[in-house]
Amino acid sequence: MLPRFLFGVMCIKRDGVVMLVVTLPDGSKREFEASVRVLDVAQSIGAGLAKAALAGIVDGTIVDLSYVIDQDSHLAIVTDKSPEALEIVRHSTAHLLAYAVKELFPEAQVTIGPVIENGFYYDFSYHRAFTPEDLGALEKKMLELVKEDEPVIRTVLPRDEAVKFFKGQGEHYKAEIIGSIPQGEEVSLYAEGRFTDLCRGPHVPSTGKLKVFKLMKLAGAYWRGDSKNEMLQRIYGTAWLKKEDQDAYLHMLEEAEKRDHRRLGRHLDLFHFQDEAPGLVFWHPKGWSIWQEVEQYMRRVYQNEGYLEVKAPQILDRGLWEKSGHWDNYKENMFTTESENRAYALKPMNCPGHVQIFNSGLHSYRELPLRYGEFGQCHRNEPSGALHGLMRVRGFTQDDGHIFCTENQIQTEVAAFDKAVRSVYTDFGFSEVAVKLALRPAKRVGDDAIWDKAEDALRGALTASGQKWEELPGEGAFYGPKIEYHLKDSIGRSWQCGTMQVDFSMPARLGAEYVAEDNTRKVPVMLHRAIVGSLERFIGILIENHAGAMPVWLAPTQVVVLNISENSAAYAQQIQQSLKKQGFRVESDLRNEKITYKIREHALQKLPFLLIVGDKESEGNTVAVRARGGVDLGVMPLDAFVARLQQDVSQKVGPELS
């Protein structure tokens, strides 16, 4: 395995000559009489390292292998073992795509091609729409350019010369980008073979380093993101260091497509969307059954954790939103309305309403912590282009809670919440949970001292709970920092669900007070918390995590009873009614169809159990049981099946897990 080398560089004299001394992490030294390229340093260490090198890191800045070190510096050689390698490869592959486009479609103009999560894209201007067949041809051309192993060469030009160069090439978009750079500055260009592009870099040293990639899809994108500009054509791709990594990613995408909650929502008759209500859900009976199971489960969590359930109005006067800070910091996401010359807004969050409930009476310190919970319906004016099934909607319901407490109660409350949230996720089938701490954003209320106190309070609570966490600068809510809980689903995707936010600002802004032990009035701390977050989104996550095959306790229909012949129809109905009376969700299929047809049809609905009954089962008061996945559990007494069903429901498992 090739290590990631880190060096410290200092100057010494040898025979009167000033030397560059490269100090390796183990203390050994390498000396150079003059300026030296990053690649030269790698070659001095070994041919293997030089061959594997992709780039360098000089004084914390990622640079090309051709970068010249001419003063005391620190250097790291980036190989495919380095964390920086993947982004460099993806960035370079985006430019390889542009090279291929110019080879096959010389009249196309290139614009920008950044790295994104799991890959890259590049936007082009061309007189006709690219096709899936074009993607195949482009990928083939990219592989040809890789085989040519052409060196990637960096040059630097003054801004005006670079503008002139790209205009001469007919690349007006590139010229426009450079023209926005302040006059007098220099820009870097990268040439590979017959193609030259504008880029800050760095890039791999040659096209031969780019061997694992795939073009994924086509889309449209406005130039500079402005709908007034030309619609460009965007080509998405993915690139990896190892083929097995790409294969795993592509397999995950295939699984994700099969599990798409929008497709499963239609197939399983759970919900639908339509143009008359963009971003709002029409829940069907089966989907609403899942909703009710999730809500009632979370209601029991409220009760067990000492929350008092409340309900606040949907629409509140503009003045309250101004006091809370939402009007100045969140108005663009709010739906507003007017009545009798008064301005109102639909609530995007439940917190101001809960403060009003707290303020309706005078509270003593003895009542704290006071915990309110609400299944509060919120509306947010999300851009139509951002809407995505249940995952991004305009109307949603939260399992929202707010804790009014003292500063010295924060740690205890956060620890209790952390314990509860992990128990809930386990019941819903999520075993891997990552914790992140989102810190102050640029747009916020409250001074830095308040934010320091709030962030330190959450750090202290996480430390006391024995948690490890990642910090996310700038990603907190405008009123306070927050702990985020990220779940990993069955195909490895991460979903952010639960939050715990500490807020010193909103209670003061809205006049919340309690009577302290010394009989003075003090402002409580407000903790905002949610476990599943948006119920809509969480149900979408559940559907995809389980590929629509919900565990027995969540399944809209837990059992379907199928009769083999007309003679056993009465017995099938009797079983259905018996199971219903015991609280199970049961249907029967008494159609005069072949039993194999009925079994196959219901199996496609991903039902936990099918009970098949004929004359023998009717005579013996038994049932033939098929579990999900075509598993034949054989014939058993009805009481034995009921015991099995009760166990699966109580243990929150599915038939394939029990």
Are the C-beta atoms of residues 190 and 154 closer than 8 Å to each other? Answer: yes
Specify whether 91 is catalytic: no
SS3 for 464-482 is HCCCCCEEECCCCECCECE
Place of tokens 């609280």: 583
Are the C-beta atoms of residues 481 and 462 closer than 8 Å to each other? Answer: no
Q: Which of 400, 418, 489, 503 is catalytic?
A: 400
Specify whether 482 is catalytic: yes
d(CA 489, CA 252): 11
d(CA 127, CA 330): 41
Task: Count the helices and strands in the chain (H runs, E runs).
Answer: 20, 37
Q: Which of 246, 398, 558, 576 is catalytic?
A: 398
Residue 492 phi/psi, 5-degree rounding, is 90, 5
d(CA 33, CA 18): 7
Q: Which of 233, 234, 246, 351 is catalytic?
A: 351
Cα dihedral sign, 598-599-605-608: positive
Q: What angle, 0 to 180 degrees and rounded to 10, lies between the N-to-C axes of helices 285-304 and 535-545?
A: 110
Q: Which of 203, 440, 444, 528 is catalytic?
A: 528
Q: Which of 402, 440, 537, 598 is catalytic?
A: 402
Q: Give the chain's largest Cα–Cα span.
A: 108
Question: Judging by beta carbons within 10 Å of its beta carbon (0-12, 13-18, 19+), is residue 194 exposed, middle or buried?
Answer: exposed
d(CA 228, CA 5): 49
Q: Which of 380, 444, 598, 602 is catalytic?
A: 380
Specify whether 528 is catalytic: yes
Specify whether 405 is catalytic: no
Q: Which of 90, 174, 371, 482 is catalytic?
A: 482
d(CA 166, CA 159): 11
Specify whether 72 is catalytic: no
List, by residue number, the catalytic residues. Answer: 351, 380, 398, 400, 402, 482, 528
